[in-house]
Amino acid sequence: MTNGPVLEGEIVKRTLQFFWLVDCSGSMEGQKIASLNRAIQDVIPQIQKAVSAHPEVQIMMRAIKFSNDASWHVGPNPIPLEKFVWPEVRANGVTATAQAINLLANELDIEKMNRRGYPPVCILLSDGFCTDPESEYEKAIQNLNSLPWGKRSVKLVIAIGKDREYDEEQLLKFVSHQEIGVLKADTPEKLIAYIQWASITASIGASVGKSKAGDPANDQHNVALASPPQVQVASSSTDVF
C-alpha cells in the first residue's frame, strides 16, 4: 500500500527513535530503582510538552532492561510517545550491559531504521560494573559505533550511586558527547534532574539540528547539546544512594 499525496498545509512528520537502557541488577534495589521508576514516569509528559512546539517530530519510544541478561521492557515494537506508559522495573541479578548494547545495536541496523528519521536518542542508566566479559563489552561498543545510526545517535549515560560503585571509564565509551561525559547521580534529586535534562535536551537537540538527515551513512552531523544542569541538593537533605 502506497502513501497518498500530502495535502497542502499538512505537516510531514519525521521519526525520532528513543531508547531507554535500564540497569535492573540487584544493587539497584530500594531507593535507586524507586527513584528511577518515578523519574521516567514523570518525565514522559514533560517530553511531550517540550516537543509540542515541533509538530514535525514523531517520537517513538522503547525500553531495554538488563540484569542477568537483556530483554525488552517496552518493545521491540516502538510506541508513539503520546501512548507510551512506563511499567515499573524491579531489581535483581547482575549487570549484563554488553547484552543490552547489542540488543540496541540490532534495532539501529540500517535496514530497520527510517533513513529520513532524526538521530536516535539512547539513554543508559546503570549503577554498576558490567558483569559480561570485558571483551564482550568492547565488542558491543565497537558494533554499535560501526553502524551509521549508531554513530549518529545521541548516547548519554547516567551513573547512579557513588563513584566507586561503577566503572566511569567503561560507561564513557557508550557516550556520544565526550564533552558532557558521564552524568553522576549520587542522590535521588540528581537522578531525577539528569533524567529530565537528558531525555528532553537530547530529544529536542536531535530533532532541531541543522542536519537534513539524509542517508545516515553519508551524514556525520553531531547533535549539539546544552551543558547539563548543576544540581544543588538542599543541605537539609540526607538522601544519598
The string of DSSP codes covering 122-177 is: EEEEESS---S-HHHHHHHHHHHHHSHHHHHSEEEEEEES-GGGS-HHHHHTT-S-
Helix (H) or strand (E) holding 20: strand 14-23
> In whole angstroms, what is the distance from residue 106 CA to residue 132 CA?
18
Determine the topology of domain 14-218 in CATH. Answer: Rossmann fold (3.40.50)
The domain locations on the chain are 14-218
- Identity of the residue numbered 88: E
CB-based contact 54:30 (threshold 8 Å):
no
What grid cell was written down for 167?
566503572
> In whole angstroms, what is the distance from residue 177 CA to residue 181 CA?
6
CB-based contact 114:100 (threshold 8 Å):
no
3-state secondary structure of 105: helix
Distances (CA, A) of 224 to 47, 96, 150, 152: 18, 30, 16, 12
3-state secondary structure of 233: coil
3-state secondary structure of 27: helix
Predicted pLDDT of residue 111:
87
Q: Locate cell 523519574: which residue? A: 39
Per-residue confidence of the chain (241 residues) as pLDDT tens digits? 445 554 455 567 899 999 999 999 999 999 999 999 999 999 999 999 999 999 999 999 999 999 999 999 999 999 999 999 999 999 999 999 999 999 999 999 988 888 889 999 999 999 999 999 999 999 999 999 999 999 999 999 999 999 889 999 999 999 999 999 999 999 999 999 999 999 999 999 998 864 444 555 455 456 888 888 887 665 455 578 8
Counting beta carbons within 10 angstroms of the beta carbon of residue 47, is it exposed (0 to 12), middle (13 to 18) or buried (19 or more)?
buried
What grid cell was written down for 166?
561503577
Cα angle at 16 between 14 and 17, to 5 degrees?
A: 135
CB-based contact 58:38 (threshold 8 Å):
no
> In whole angstroms, what is the distance from residue 32 CA to residue 21 CA?
15
Task: Tell me the CA end-to-end span of the chain in Å, nearest whole number.
Answer: 53
